[in-house]
């Protein structure tokens, strides 16, 4: 039976299209679509259990995987099968999850799994830009409760013109790389990197992407209607009790408001809130708590959230006593760790990050091997968030998705400031030691200082700030919060992180929880963030104003030398013998890469001892040494032979040439040692390659005056030599005799056969 296929096509406006198709693949899933642009195809499925899970949250899993077969390749390594997700896949999962999760009902707790797979790859299409569209379209075709269609789009800007879902080649020329997630009515998520753009330019890019997303949301609705929109499933909703909610609010609101207004520290404040919660529970019997316990905690949390929000909206005060635009106290230090190549501490309030920098060769570059992209990173940043940073004890189970996402944000914030001609591979590691609000932005600040401490010549220092927003849609009041606390992250309507230099934004990450946020409020929030960024930047530059002029004494120095292709083999030597011995003798690391365009050799020399680096450079100069015809050079005798002396150019140690005995002196030389000895230094003249011997010819006697009465020996008679050769061949008749022997042999062989 041929399946009936339903399809909608989205015109991107520049000759490119995105199609959404259903009805052919994965029909047992609750919803499935194939999204295609060019040759790129994504299969997305969604399944949600019909039974509610025994948890108080939505157990949603968003999984994005790229299949190597999609690009006609094998997985790398010995195990030829796709294994754990790469960082790139994890980042795409986070982008989709952050937009989908808020649109499920708050009381929907069924196990839900969204799976997006890259099944066919196109070099001109970046698949992560279509993952959100695929996920939402699959949900629209199911009976899963979901508020409204959403989509995601990447926006770039080339030569001042915005582009939706640019190709990777266009992205290389773009000064913006932003991913925007939105419904038809509201922008919900923004993440990306920029080349020091203004706040107004950033908002213009968001608007441009939102216009494209509206079209993609409409296409999903049309596809669902054509396919046959399913009735939304019924599920067991959470119990509500309005009277209980009012009772708990009356018991707790004023007390919570007073604690929030007291401007206490994190742990003191948490203990006070917990005490109020326990007092409320004490007003209920054990039987009532057994019946209403979950609701008591739920309604207390709502009352606490409202009281804290009201304090900020009514009085402009926050949990720690700050005003809305006030930044917590900051202290910084560099060169804290004596053995690292660069280090720094950044502390802002109760958030602290310790950053280190390690310098290496191209061999230490971070290799990226994904079906949709192969390449390497010469600058990368890793972020670690141990449980002790929040005063907790929990098991360590590898790098979390959150750590990958926060590290990537900090990396994007800083990488544009690392010069293209930086000779090193640079790794930054941020260890979060304390956390109460935006450890990722502390990582950006600590990373900036550690890079400057390491002597990496970054273009400009970068700072970052985490912002919050509290709104009251009924009254129109709103408050933008600078440098938010961990508690404010949860109770606000928007949290966004912005990084940049004094001249513009370099990266951002936003999650907007309120519907219909106006662009005016967004611009005001970004302007307040700019003021906060500049304040923090001032604190950083008080500690270290500019990169150190050189790397530390114990850090490796890097020298890069370009050599012609024909000398690469000589530097490596047979079986790598030359380069290995050179590294051992000079205590350096030598890496040779070939320029893919010019095919020249790019030699990286890494070492802590300048003498060792100089020795390697001298060896390279020696290998590349080319004497010019007619030039005069100083040489040293390094070997004595019967027919001459092997001499070494003093300007190019290791570069040797034979000085023939006939070129030692004008007089006839019986013994080489009569004229020169081991270790003698003198000058020779270079004549190039001798056409007779096809070897390089140098002469000592050419620089000496001819002795008085000197008579040159007559040249050898070539005819005489030729006659001897002819006589040997013709007179002896070797060729004819050989032929005769063959002829004589044949009848004997015939006779033998008879």
Q: Count the Cβ atoms, other than its own, within 10 Å of residue 527.
A: 12
**Residue given tokens 């040249």 in the structure block:** 715
> DSSP letter at 77?
S
Residue 233 DSSP symbol: P
Closest by CA to 340, choosing from 206, 455, 489, 468, is: 455
Q: Any known ligand binding at 489?
A: yes
- Which 3 state secondary structure label does DSSP give 114? strand
Q: How far apart are CA 500 and CA 464, in angstroms?
A: 6
CB 350 within 8 A of CB 436: yes
Strand partners, 494: 469, 512
Long-range contacts of 295-301 (CB under 8 A, 24+ apart): 295/239, 295/240, 295/241, 295/244, 295/245, 296/244, 296/248, 299/244, 299/245, 299/248, 299/249, 300/248, 300/252, 300/276
Convert 623-660 into a string of H (helix), E (strand) and C (coil). Answer: HHCCCCCCCEEEEEEEEEECCEEEEEECCCCCCEEEEE
Q: How many CA atoms lie within 13 A of 151 on its CB side?
A: 27
Phi/psi at 628 (5° precision): -95, 145
Bridge partners of residue 41, in order along the sequence: 36, 120
DSSP conformational letter for 75: P
Q: What is the DSSP track for 666-734? A: SS--S-GGGT--TT-EEEEEEEEE-TTT-SEEEESGGGSPPPTT--PPPPP-HHHHHHHHHHHHHTTTH
Task: Please name the residue that has the structure tokens 């404040």.
Answer: 269
> Which two tokens mark 726?
């002819």
**Considering only CA atoms, which of 314, 137, 96, 130 is closest in space to residue 220?**
137
Q: Which residues of 221-251 are buried (b: 16+ CB within 10 A; e: fewer)?
A: bebbeebeeeeeeebeeeeeeeebbebbbeb
Binding residue per annotation — 128? no
Identify whether the C-beta of residue 244 lies closer than 8 Å to the C-beta of residue 281.
no
Spell out the alpha helix ranges (H) of 151-233: 168-173, 199-227
The residue count of the chain comes to 754
What's the CA gap between 636 and 643, in Å, rounded? 17
| 3 state DSSP class of 594 | strand
Q: Residue 468: what are its φ and ψ, rounded to 5°? A: -135, 170
> Which residues are annotated as part of the binding site for Mg(2+)?
489, 495
Which residues contribute to the annotated binding site? 489, 495
């Amino acid at each position: 039976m041929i399946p009936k296929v339903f399809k909608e096509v989205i015109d991107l406006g520049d000759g490119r299209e995105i199609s959404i198709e259903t009805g052919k693949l994965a029909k047992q899933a609750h919803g499935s679509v194939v999204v295609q642009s060019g040759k790129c195809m994504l299969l997305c499925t969604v399944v949600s259990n019909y039974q509610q899970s025994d948890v108080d949250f939505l157990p949603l899993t968003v999984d994005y995987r790229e299949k190597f077969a999609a690009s006609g390749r094998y997985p790398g390594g010995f195990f030829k099968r796709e294994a754990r997700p790469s960082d790139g896949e994890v980042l795409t999962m986070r982008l989709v999850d952050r937009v989908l999760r808020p649109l499920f009902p708050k009381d929907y707790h069924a196990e839900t799994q969204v799976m997006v797979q890259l099944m066919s790859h196109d070099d001109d299409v970046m698949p992560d830009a279509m993952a959100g569209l695929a996920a939402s379209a699959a949900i629209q075709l199911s009976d899963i409760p979901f508020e409204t269609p959403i989509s995601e789009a990447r926006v770039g800007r080339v030569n001042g013109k915005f582009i939706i879902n640019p190709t990777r080649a266009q992205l290389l020329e773009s000064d913006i790389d932003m991913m925007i997630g939105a419904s038809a009515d509201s922008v919900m998520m923004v993440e990306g990197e920029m080349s020091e753009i203004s706040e107004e330019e950033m908002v213009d890019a968001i608007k441009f992407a939102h216009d494209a997303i509206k079209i993609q949301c409409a296409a999903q609705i049309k596809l669902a209607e054509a396919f046959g929109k399913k009735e939304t499933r019924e599920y067991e909703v959470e119990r509500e009790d309005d009277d209980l909610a009012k009772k708990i609010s009356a018991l707790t609101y004023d007390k919570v408001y007073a604690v929030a207004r007291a401007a206490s520290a994190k742990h003191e404040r948490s203990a006070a809130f917990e005490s109020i919660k326990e007092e409320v529970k004490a007003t209920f019997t054990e039987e009532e708590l057994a019946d209403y316990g979950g609701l008591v905690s739920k309604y207390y949390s709502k009352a606490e959230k409202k009281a804290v929000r009201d304090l900020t909206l009514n009085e402009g005060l926050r949990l720690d006593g700050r005003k809305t635009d006030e930044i917590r106290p900051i202290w910084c230090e560099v060169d804290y760790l004596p053995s690292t190549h660069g280090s720094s501490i950044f502390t802002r309030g109760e958030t602290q990050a310790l950053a280190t920098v390690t310098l290496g060769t191209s061999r230490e570059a971070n290799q990226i091997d994904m079906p949709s992209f192969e390449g390497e990173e010469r600058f990368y940043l890793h972020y670690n968030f141990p449980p002790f940073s929040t005063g907790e004890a929990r098991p360590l189970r590898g790098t979390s998705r959150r750590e990958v996402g926060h590290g990537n944000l900090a990396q994007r914030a800083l990488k544009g400031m690392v010069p293209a001609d930086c000779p090193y591979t640079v790794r930054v590691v941020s260890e979060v030691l304390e956390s109460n609000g935006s450890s990722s932005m502390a990582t950006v600040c600590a990373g900036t200082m550690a890079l400057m401490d390491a002597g990496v010549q970054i273009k400009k220092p970068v700072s970052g700030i985490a912002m919050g927003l509290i709104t009251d849609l009924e009254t129109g009041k709103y408050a933008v919060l600078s440098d938010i606390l961990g508690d404010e992250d949860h109770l606000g309507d928007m949290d966004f992180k912005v990084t940049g230099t004094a001249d513009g934004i370099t990266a951002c990450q936003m999650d907007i929880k309120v519907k219909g946020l106006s662009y005016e409020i967004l611009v005001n929030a970004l302007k307040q963030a700019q003021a906060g960024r500049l304040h923090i930047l001032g604190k950083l530059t008080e500690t270290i104003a500019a990169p150190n002029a050189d790397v530390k004494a114990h850090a490796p120095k890097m020298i890069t030398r370009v050599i012609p292709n024909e000398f690469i083999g000589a530097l490596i030597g047979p079986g790598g013998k030359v380069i290995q011995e050179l590294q051992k003798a000079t205590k350096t690391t030598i890496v040779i890469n070939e320029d893919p365009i010019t095919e020249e050799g790019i030699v990286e020399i890494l070492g802590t001892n300048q003498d060792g680096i100089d020795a390697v450079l001298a060896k390279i100069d020696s290998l590349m040494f080319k004497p010019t015809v007619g030039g005069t050079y100083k040489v040293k005798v390094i070997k004595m032979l019967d027919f001459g002396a092997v001499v070494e150019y003093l300007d190019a140690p290791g570069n040797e040439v034979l000085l023939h005995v006939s070129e030692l002196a004008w007089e006839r030389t019986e013994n080489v040692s009569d004229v020169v000895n081991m270790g003698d230094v003198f000058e020779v003249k270079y004549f190039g390659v001798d056409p007779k011997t096809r070897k390089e010819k140098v002469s000592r006697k050419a620089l000496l005056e001819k002795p008085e009465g000197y008579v040159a020996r007559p040249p050898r008679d070539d005819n005489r030599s030729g006659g001897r050769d002819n006589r040997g061949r013709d007179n002896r008749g070797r060729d004819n005799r050989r032929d005769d022997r063959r002829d004589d042999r044949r009848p004997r062989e015939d006779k033998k056969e008879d």
